[in-house]
Amino acid sequence: MRLVDLPEPLPAGSRLLHIGLPKTGTTALQAALHAARDELESRGVHNVSKSRHPLAAAAYGAGRTDDSDDGRLSRRWTQLAGDFATSRARQTLLSSEALCAAAPDRISALKEQLGEDLYVVVTLRSLTALLPSLWQQRVKEGAATSFDDWLHAVLRFEADGGFRLGGYDLDRIIDDWGSRFGEDRLVFFIGDPTDRLFTLRAFESLLGVSGVLKLPSMDNAALPFAEVEMLRAFNLIHDGQDEDAARWAEVVRGVARQMGERPADGGRADAAWQRITAPRWLAEAANEHARRSIAELEGSDALVVGDPRFLLADPQRQPEEVAVPDQVSVQAAAWFADRVARAVTAGSRSPQARTKRGRAAAPPRPADLDTVSGRELARALARRARDRVRRVRR
């Protein structure tokens, strides 16, 4: 292992492939790279993706999808790979966490498509912090499994929504990617979790630029535990229970994507709102995994930027048990109900419906209550939404 605080710039003509891992700050990095696209190009850095994140095309390149769309994804991936392989820029980059899921045979195919002379960058994060974020994302996508049940399933290496803890095993990454591109071409970022700028500064160092990447405003911010439980209650109610389940799941996923950026209210502005926190037993189990990962890094020829000890968590800072909230603020409930109603009424249109004047309609004023039972609210709104779906279909 070669350990540095910040890396030296890569040689001129280098190609940089960032493969994730998921929930390690990848969205913020990709947004920063996209926002600084013109400035980076002027400094000799070419981002081959034309959007913030070419997720679908990269998933195709990783072998995670089939060519069921008349070749659109195949053509898009071929274009990205060709641009990456033939770019004559001072530095060329492509970022997608979808690539980290590539099986060994697909990694060999990527080597053929992208060229073997590239650097593979992997961003890492403590599993104690990462797993709550990953469960929240699953709920936003329609999962109905409780936090505790999901954690136990993950740590038993049972599949849940396609995820396995093995996807974060560094021995697999070092073996699969290092054996094809060279361990000395692997770069791991492991930053202080309190330093939100670490990954951006480390990327700038690799690219040989400074002061270009800025923290973006995010649309996937962490939600209060109560709001995630509200979403999960809706998912439970519509978990294949009626003919409108698929349509309902589509509506909820669309609204969930907006929740992180809704205006602050009494429920969100309160400093006491409960973030999803890993229990102590998870931190202890995750630390065992982290120690194995650190040993794999130490025995490799990879470049490690930061400090591997940040993969560990202090179990004493985690609660022995995590209390699951059963109430949600009326402000959050009113906002959610408003967005769901608009999405259902709009039918095939985006949930981000607009008023005739082109401005976002203000959410309804909440009732003069502090909280409401999340499960009771979910049942009431679900009944109304089902009725509205059926009326729209008529």
Question: For residue range 192-205, what is the model confidence (pLDDT) as tens digits?
Answer: 999 999 999 999 99
For residue 118, give the nearest of 48, 29, 68 by alpha carbon: 48
- Using the predicted structure, report yes or no on whether residue 38 has a pLDDT greater than 90: yes
> Once rounded to an integer, what is the mean pLDDT over residues 221-249?
79
pLDDT band at 258 (very low <50, low <70, confident <90, very high): confident
Residue 358 binned pLDDT confidence (cut-offs 50, 70, 90): very low
Q: pLDDT-derived band of residue 352, with 50, 70 and 90 as boundaries?
A: very low
Please report the pLDDT score of residue 367 as a whole number.
40
The pLDDT assigned to 237 comes to 81
Residue 123 pairs with which residues in a beta bridge?
189
Kind and range of the H or E element at 328?
Answer: strand 327-329
Q: Of 210, 333, 201, 321, give the one whose Cα is nearest residue 267.
A: 333
Distance CA 115, CA 235 (A): 43
On the question of pLDDT at 243 being above 70, the answer is no
Render pLDDT for 125-164 as a digit per residue (tens, 0 to 9). Answer: 999 999 999 999 889 888 889 999 999 888 775 444 445 5
Q: Count the neighbouring beta carbons within 10 Å of the beta carbon of residue 353.
A: 15
pLDDT of residue 301: 97
For residue 259, what pLDDT is reported? 83
> Exposed/middle/buried for 348, CB within 10 Å: 0-12, 13-18, 19+?
exposed
Q: Which amino acid is at 305?
A: V
Residue 391, pLDDT > 90, answer: no
CA-to-CA distance for 353 and 333, rounded, in angstroms?
Answer: 18
Q: pLDDT band for position 361 (50/70/90)?
A: very low
Q: What is the mean pLDDT of residues 14-24?
A: 95
Domain ranges of the chain: 2-219+278-317, 225-275+326-393
Answer whether residue 4 shows pLDDT above 80: yes
Using DSSP, state whether 212 is helix, strand or coil.
coil
Between residues 219 and 97, which one has the greater pLDDT? 97
> Does the structure show a pLDDT above 80 at 268?
no
Mean pLDDT within 305-334: 92
For domain 2-219+278-317, give its CATH number from 3.30.450.20, 3.40.50.300, 3.90.1520.10, 3.30.70.3280: 3.40.50.300
Q: Rounded to whole angstroms, how far apart are CA atoms 134 and 73? A: 26
What is the arithmetic mean of pLDDT over 267-274? 51
- Which pLDDT score is estimated for 240? 60
Quick one: CA dihedral 198, 274, 276, 382, positive or negative? negative
Question: Of 264-268, 282-286, 330-334, where does the model show the most confidence?
Answer: 282-286
pLDDT tens profile 92-132: 999 999 999 899 999 999 999 999 999 999 999 999 999 99
pLDDT tier at 329, thresholds 50, 70, 90: confident
- C-alpha 202/C-alpha 28 separation (Å) is 14
What Cα–Cα distance (Å) separates residue 390 from each residue in 255, 256, 352, 383, 386?
19, 22, 21, 11, 6
Give the model's pLDDT for residue 341: 85
Residue 286 has pLDDT above 70, yes or no: yes
> Average pLDDT over the chain, rounded to whole?
83
